[in-house]
Amino acid sequence: MYFYKNEFIPKSDIHLSPDDRGYYFGDGIYEVFRVYQGQLYEQEAHLQRLQRTANEVRLTFPFTIPQIGQILTDLVAKNKLIDGTVYMQITRGEAPRAHPFPSHAEPVMLAYCTEVPRPAATIHNGIKAITFADIRWLRCDLKTLNLLPNVMAKQAALDHGVQEVVLHREGTVTECSASNLMIVKDGVLYTHPANHLILHGITRAVVLRLARALDMPVKEEAFTTDQLANADEAFITGTTVEITPILEVDGGPIGTGVPGPHTRKLQEEFVRTFA
Ligand code: PMP
């Protein structure tokens, strides 16, 4: 069962309009939630980020935030989802193609669930990455549908036979195609500050909270691709990838080339937040 506009309906009954501004302009916003044991993980944080993005792009919700929370909770229940994800987006609505905000269009919400297990193998074994120029706009803090640069970057990784890209602006690392990046050097955890150049990841915030609780020194400071190459440990954080170790960047090993002790400790603590 999907949610579309204002009802729960089967996917096959959804009739999308070609005039939806999501198609023409990527004029919409989205969120991805993880569902553990039938519960939406960090629901409030995701909804707050959705609200913030909506405000910044001047998109008025068709529902209140508590109503959206209830719709998504109902969606999970109707689909009997135990372990998986919920995708939701809201576009600015349907109107003949023209750049200005349409005066009468109603925003359109779409949401659905996917049953998908945690990516246990890559969480355990880690992944490889390449560096890639971050050519995105200067509002990467907004979770909008304009994901073509992320799509191009991710495909470049796959074309190189690795799983992820480390995005950088003239040598300063920002984040990855759909996750944030952290490194450990001499026991200190570094990650890019939550400004306009990265998405303010919910998992990033959880991991920083866990690190501080473990008395691990945390520095929300940008680092370079050279610092990444010389790091003791590196890992990405995200709703679907959780904490996934990065073992190799551009063919060179990070640290000893296996998931490090800080990464493992944070992974252990992370599981405790939902298990
Ligand atoms: N950065 C980007 C560009 C992303 O798309 C995502 C995934 N939504 C993240 C970081 C991680 O954010 P979160 O932990 O909220 O999933």
Low-confidence ranges of the chain (pLDDT < 50): none
Residue from 42, 52, 137, 179 to probe ligand 1 pocket by mutation (most atoms less than 8 Å from CB)? 179
Helices and strands per DSSP (H, E), number in the chain: 8, 15
Q: Is 143 a catalytic residue?
A: yes
| Total domains, the chain | 2
Give the number of the atom of ligand 1 that is nearest the alpha carbon of residue 180. Answer: 10
Task: CATH number of the domain at 263, please.
Answer: 3.20.10.10
Give the number of the atom of ligand 1 that is nearest the alpha carbon of residue 199. Answer: 1
Task: CATH number of the domain at 76, please.
Answer: 3.30.470.10
Q: Which of 88, 90, 91 is nearest to 114 (CA)?
A: 88
Q: How far is the CA of 142 from the centre of ligand 1 (A)?
A: 10
Q: How far apart are the first and last CA of the chain?
A: 26
Q: Tell the burial category of 53 from Cβ atoms under 10 Å away from its Cβ (0-12, 13-18, 19+).
A: buried
Q: What is the pLDDT of residues 137-186, one digit of tens each?
A: 999 999 999 999 999 999 999 999 999 999 999 999 999 999 999 999 99
> Percent helix, strand and coil across the chain, each rounded to 5?
30, 30, 40
Q: What pLDDT, on the 0 to 100 scale, is given for residue 119?
A: 98
Q: Which of 47, 49, 18, 29 is nearest to 90 (CA)?
A: 29
Q: For residues 137 and 102, state if they share a domain.
A: no
Q: For ligand 1, is residue 144 a contact (CB within 6 Å)?
A: no
Residue 11 is classified by DSSP as G
Q: What pLDDT, on the 0 to 100 scale, is given for residue 207?
A: 99
The residue type found at 94 is E
Pairing of strands 127-133, 164-169: parallel
Token pair 């519960």 is found at: 39
Token pair 């009802």 is found at: 7
Give the number of the atom of ligand 1 that is nearest the alpha carbon of residue 203. Answer: 14
Q: What pLDDT, on the 0 to 100 scale, is given for residue 170?
A: 98
Q: Count other Cβ atoms within 10 Å, centred on residue 50.
A: 21
CA–CA separation, 106 and 110 (whole Å)? 13
For atom 9 of ligand 1, the residue with the nearest CA is: 179
Give the number of the atom of ligand 1 that is nearest the alpha carbon of residue 198. Answer: 1
Q: For ligand 1, is residue 238 a contact (CB within 6 Å)?
A: yes
Residue 62 is classified by DSSP as S
**Alpha-carbon distance values, 258 to 19, 127, 231, 247, 254 (Å):** 49, 10, 12, 6, 8
Q: For residues 93 and 221, state if they share a domain.
A: no
Residue from 85, 174, 199 to probe ligand 1 pocket by mutation (most atoms less than 8 Å from CB)? 199
For atom 4 of ligand 1, the residue with the nearest CA is: 178
Pairing of strands 28-36, 84-91: antiparallel
Q: 160 in helix, strand or coil?
A: coil
Of 116, 147, 178, which marks where a domain is finished?
Answer: 116
Beta carbons of 11 and 67 less than 8 angstroms apart: no
Q: Which of 87, 89, 133, 163 is nearest to 225 (CA)?
A: 133
Q: How far is the CA of 53 from the centre of ligand 1 (A)?
A: 13
Q: What pLDDT, on the 0 to 100 scale, is given for residue 88?
A: 98
Q: What pLDDT, on the 0 to 100 scale, is given for residue 124?
A: 98
Q: What pLDDT, on the 0 to 100 scale, is given for residue 223?
A: 98
Q: For residues 236 and 202, state if they share a domain.
A: yes
CA–CA separation, 139 and 145 (whole Å)? 12
Q: What pLDDT, on the 0 to 100 scale, is given for residue 76?
A: 98
Residue 102 is classified by DSSP as P
Q: For residues 229 and 261, state if they share a domain.
A: yes
Q: Which of 124, 269, 273 is nearest to 211 (CA)?
A: 269
Q: For residues 245 and 166, state if they share a domain.
A: yes
Query: ipTM for the complex?
Result: 0.99
Q: For ligand 1, is residue 147 a contact (CB within 6 Å)?
A: no
Q: For residues 208 and 140, state if they share a domain.
A: yes
Domain that holds residue 71: 2-116
Instruction: Tell me which of 11, 143, 185, 219 is the catalytic residue.
Output: 143
Q: For residues 166 and 213, state if they share a domain.
A: yes
CA–CA separation, 235 and 184 (whole Å)? 9
